[in-house]
Amino acid sequence: MKNGLYQKSLTFWNKLTRGSTNRQILAATLTVGIGLGFAKLVSILKELVVAWNFGISDSLDAFLMAFVLPSFISNVIAGSFNAALIPTYIQVREKEGKEAAQKLFSGAIIWSCGLLAITSLVMLTTAPLYLPKIASGFDHEKLDLTYKLLWMLAPSIMFSGILTVWAAVLNAGERFALAAVAETLTPAMTILFLLLFHSWDIFSLAAGLVAGQLLEMIVIGIALHRQNISLIPKWYGFDENLREVTGQYTPMIAGAFLMSSCSLVDQSMAAMLAPGSLAALLYGKRLVLLPITLASTALSTAVIPYFSKMIVHKDWKSVDHTLGHYLRLIFFVTVPMTLLFMALSEPIIHLLFQRGSFNASDTHIVSEIQICFALQIPFYIANILVVRLVSAMKMNHLLMQVSGLNLIVNIACNYLFMQWMGIKGIALSTSVVYMFCFSYMLINAEIQLRKQRKLSQEINQP
Q: Which pLDDT tens digit goes with each residue over 133-171? A: 877 777 788 888 888 999 999 888 888 888 877 877 776
| pLDDT value of residue 459 | 64
Q: Is there a contact between 377 and 291 (Cβ–Cβ < 8 Å)?
A: yes
What residue spans of 313-395 are helical by DSSP H?
A: 316-343, 345-353, 360-374, 377-392
Other residues' Cβ atoms within 10 Å of the Cβ of residue 180: 24
Q: Is there a contact between 403 and 252 (Cβ–Cβ < 8 Å)?
A: no
Buried-exposed string 279-299: b where 16+ CB fall within 10 A, e elsewhere: bbbbbbbbbbbbbbbbbbbbb
Distance CA 343, CA 292 (A): 18
| Residue pLDDT, tens place only, 414-462 | 888 888 888 888 889 989 988 998 998 888 888 888 887 777 666 665 5
* Mean pLDDT computed over 348-358: 78
Measured CA angle at 190 (ends 184, 196), to 5 deg:
130
Highest mean pLDDT pick, 71-85, 233-247, 252-266, 356-370: 356-370
Confidence of residue 177 (pLDDT cuts 50, 70, 90): low
Distance CA 18, CA 13 (A): 8
Q: Is there a contact between 117 and 158 (Cβ–Cβ < 8 Å)?
A: yes
Q: Is there a contact between 42 and 188 (Cβ–Cβ < 8 Å)?
A: yes
Residue 9 reports pLDDT greater than 70:
no
CA dist 255 → 84, 112, 395, 407 (Å)? 12, 17, 12, 10
Residue 106 reports pLDDT greater than 60:
yes
| Residue pLDDT, tens place only, 325-344 | 888 888 888 899 899 888 98
Candidates 432, 409, 428; CA nearest to 417 is: 428
